[in-house]
Structure 1
Amino acid sequence: MSSFVFPVLLVLFSLLLSEGFEEVGARNLTDLKCPTRKKNFAVMTGQTCQKSCEQRNCSKTRRCLCDGECGMSCIFMGLSCPWPMLINNAETRLTQDSHMFGDFMEVTCKSGYRMADGRETAVSRCQGDRKWSFTAPCEDILKPSSHCKPPPEIENGSHENGPYIAGREIHYQCNYGYRLEGTSTLLCQENGEWSHTAPTCHSVNCSRPPNIAQATLVAVHKSEYPVGTVIYYLCKKDFLLDGSNRVTCLKNGNWSQLPHCRARCPVTAQRSRMIYQGRKLWLYEIPGGLVHHGETVTFFCRSQNKTCSYTAESQCFDGVLKLPDCYEEPTYLRYHLYPKRIVSEIPAC
């Protein structure tokens, strides 16, 4: 093959690989749409994606460029990948004069060797994480088969990428809102077969949200709700919401923590004043004689020598406001005949 024809073929080969954007370089892709970054893509491939610039701007030292399957990313200006690059049983050469972001390297197996998928040549791209996209070694073609075919694709889920060599495990995971059933890990065996059948992904739904005492569900009409659905609770009049009124269907099929509707508390002390909302009040001065859930009322207690008073607090909890143990309700006669001698009116200790 002439020295002119081979570079032309190499360029054509690089363009054919652009379906997965493996070899789309640092160009801003005005003629090709850059893929949207997939969730957990970096975990499955080992590539470290840079900060996305699809919805935010980059710093002054970075440019918003397409980084293959990482999508539009903030790439450091002047970024380069290691060179020379040594790969077992292979020869490497740059297809241009530099090894900057988006540049290409050709990997060619030596005689008698092949890549795990049977190829002799591959094109690798300099990525935004300063690594080449393809650095897998070439294997001896005289050795027994030591790789597996790509594992089955599953609906509503994905698996890790290759190489699928013997002894390597690959992991499946389901998309958001789906639950994995079956074995999540498959092992590539020496015989070239996978250890298990691929798992399946099934949609996760929450059942109709439960009713809460003294609460109303807003616009709930279905028997099942997909993951991520948000429903709302409203408490009836005179009841206080304890918790968030917003409840979400979680990916385990359960609803997030439910709120409670708490009742107001009646104040049972009638013949002495108390401190409520920072003011010293008689019971009739508290609207309805009721305080809200969570509010605190301070009562007056008489000292042992009965000459002075001290305070003790009690908090309303869902309709119950306990009187402090030290509090004694003044008698009817003392309240009417000696009002200035009742516990709330004597000097403080």
Structure 2
Amino acid sequence: MSRCSSLSLLPLLLVLSLFFTEGSGQTRARNLTDPKCPPRNKNFAGTTGHICQKSCERRRCARSRNCLCDGHCGLSCISAGLSCPWPVKIQNAETQLAQESNMFGDFMKVVCKPGFRMADGEDRAMSRCQGDGNWSFTAPCTDVLDLSYFCTPPPKIENGFHEDGLFTIGKEVRYWCDYGYRLEGASSLFCQENKEWSHPAPTCHSVNCSRPPNVAQATLVAVHQSEYPVGTVIYYLCKKDFYLDGSNRVVCLENGSWSQLPYCRARCHITAQRSRVVYHGRKLWINEIPDGLVHHGEIVRFFCRSQNKTCSFQAESRCFDGVLPLPDCYDEPTYLQYHFFPKRVVSEMPSC
């Protein structure tokens, strides 16, 4: 090739170089910001025989590699055009590509033959082409009737139960307690290679609540025991003239404590004496309200003088557990105003 021909190819090579460089940059940027990629966990990946490639979370990859998500290895530098071996033979199983290729990130279906299962008791799995050029799953399927692969059934427990399934080597079995019981001991057992379970079976112990606490100005209904099982319902009744704040129904919970206790709130005395107030939408003298008392949570509106003392406006106050504060703007009328100049009493002045 002549020197002129070589020079004429330079622009084309430059354009192609920019194209592929730009494409790699887009791939790198897209994967670096991919929130679905799990954080790098080499130890976990190692337990499955996965060899992690160079991380690209903080460093750029060589030109021959792309920054891609490689399962539990996280973002890794993967060789361009990486593929996994195909076809693949797995003992007692049939394999089939889930798509038309066996490139990095592609999947292979693994289905056990009739009468065989995987270590976790399943009869099928999806195997992924990893960054190290190996499939993620190639373990053989075992004969469900071959006792050399099984532990004896895990122990049954009183007031509890464990999950069912095939108790093959490596299988995890979880335990639960019945309602009202608490698990003590290991909640999971593993079938070990020696066909023994990894821990003794847990036990289930009943959960009880102690005698419910007293609530001020309240009475417990028919409570005579020192302990109560989970789910027990007890009731509180407030004494006369006290308002029940909360539910009167309290339940013994699974953690051994009682649900939210109520309060018995006291009524409030209206301390104003020589002025009318607005109560339940009516303008009343204090002696027109029975005993001068209002219930917890109720609102009373008092009358206050304007700054030029020519008119009145209302200021509200809410009763809370026996306390009804007077508004800062309220002034109690004097004895003389109340008896000799009633029109000067603030509650009797025209509204502003």
The TM-score range, normalised by the shorter chain, is 0.5 to 0.7
Q: Counterparts in 2 of 1:287-306, with a 5 A limit?
A: 287-306=290-309
Q: Does 1:178 align with 2:193?
A: no
- TM-score for the superposition, normalised by structure 2: 0.60
Residues 240 and 293, structure 1, Cα contact 8 Å, conserved in 2: yes
Residues 340 and 346, structure 1, Cα contact 8 Å, conserved in 2: yes
In structure 2, the CA distance between the partners of 1:311 and 1:212, relative to structure 1 (3 Å rule), is same
The residue identity in structure 2 corresponding to 1:225 is Y
Write out per-residue CA displacement over residues 196-229 of structure 1, whole angstroms, 9 at most, x where no aligned residue: 1111000111111111111111111111111111
In structure 2, the CA distance between the partners of 1:279 and 1:115, relative to structure 1 (3 Å rule), is closer
The residue identity in structure 2 corresponding to 1:195 is S
In structure 2, the CA distance between the partners of 1:114 and 1:315, relative to structure 1 (3 Å rule), is closer
Q: Does 1:276 align with 2:310?
A: no
Question: What is aligned with 1:285?
Answer: 288
Distance in 1 (CA, whole Å) between partners of 2:248 and 2:271 is 31
Indicate the RMSD between aligned Cα atoms, in angstroms.
2.5
The residue identity in structure 2 corresponding to 1:270 is Q
Q: Does 1:340 align with 2:343?
A: yes
Q: Does 1:209 align with 2:212?
A: yes
Question: What is aligned with 1:146?
Answer: 149
Cα offset, 1:147, TM superposition: 2.7
Q: Counterparts in 2 of 1:157-176, with a 5 A limit?
A: 157-176=160-179
- TM-score for the superposition, normalised by structure 1: 0.60
Write out per-residue CA displacement over residues 59-93 of structure 1, whole angstroms, 9 at most, x where no aligned residue: xxxxxxxxxxxxxxxxxxxxxxxxxxxxx9499xx
Cα offset, 1:339, TM superposition: 0.7
Distance in 1 (CA, whole Å) between partners of 2:188 and 2:235 is 39
Residues 242 and 260, structure 1, Cα contact 8 Å, conserved in 2: yes
In structure 2, the CA distance between the partners of 1:192 and 1:238, relative to structure 1 (3 Å rule), is same
Say which structure is richer in helix: 2
Question: What is aligned with 1:260?
Answer: 263
The residue identity in structure 2 corresponding to 1:150 is P
Distance in 1 (CA, whole Å) between partners of 2:93 and 2:341 is 106
Question: What is aligned with 1:321?
Answer: 324
Write out per-residue CA displacement over residues 8-53 of structure 1, whole angstroms, 9 at most, x where no aligned residue: xxxxxxxxxxxxxxxxxxxxxxxxxxxxxxxxxxxxxxxxxxxxxx
Question: What is aligned with 1:189?
Answer: 192
Distance in 1 (CA, whole Å) between partners of 2:315 and 2:193 is 77
Residues 293 and 319, structure 1, Cα contact 8 Å, conserved in 2: yes
Give unpaired runs (5+ residues) of structure 2: 1-90, 95-112, 120-139
SS of 1:247's equivalent?
Answer: strand
User: Could you tell me the percent identity over the aligned residues?
Assistant: 75
SS of 1:344's equivalent?
Answer: helix
How many equivalent residue pairs? 224
SS of 1:145's equivalent?
Answer: helix
The residue identity in structure 2 corresponding to 1:245 is N
Please tell me whether Structure 1 or Structure 2 has the larger radius of gyration of its CA atoms: 2
In structure 2, the CA distance between the partners of 1:337 and 1:169, relative to structure 1 (3 Å rule), is same
SS of 2:161's equivalent?
Answer: strand
Residues 145 and 191, structure 1, Cα contact 8 Å, conserved in 2: no
Distance in 1 (CA, whole Å) between partners of 2:323 and 2:145 is 83
In structure 2, the CA distance between the partners of 1:89 and 1:218, relative to structure 1 (3 Å rule), is same
Cα offset, 1:194, TM superposition: 1.5
Cα offset, 1:337, TM superposition: 1.4
Distance in 1 (CA, whole Å) between partners of 2:320 and 2:118 is 71
Question: What is aligned with 1:198?
Answer: 201
Distance in 1 (CA, whole Å) between partners of 2:320 and 2:338 is 29
Distance in 2 (CA, whole Å) between partners of 1:285 and 1:274 is 10
The residue identity in structure 2 corresponding to 1:310 is F
Question: What is aligned with 1:219?
Answer: 222
Give unpaired runs (5+ residues) of structure 1: 1-87, 92-106, 117-136
Question: What is aligned with 1:95?
Answer: none
Q: Counterparts in 2 of 1:35-74, with a 5 A limit?
A: none
Distance in 1 (CA, whole Å) between partners of 2:282 and 2:117 is 87
Q: Does 1:310 align with 2:313?
A: yes
Q: Which moved more, 1:163-172 or 1:259-268?
A: 163-172
In structure 2, the CA distance between the partners of 1:159 and 1:337, relative to structure 1 (3 Å rule), is same
In structure 2, the CA distance between the partners of 1:144 and 1:219, relative to structure 1 (3 Å rule), is closer
SS of 1:158's equivalent?
Answer: strand
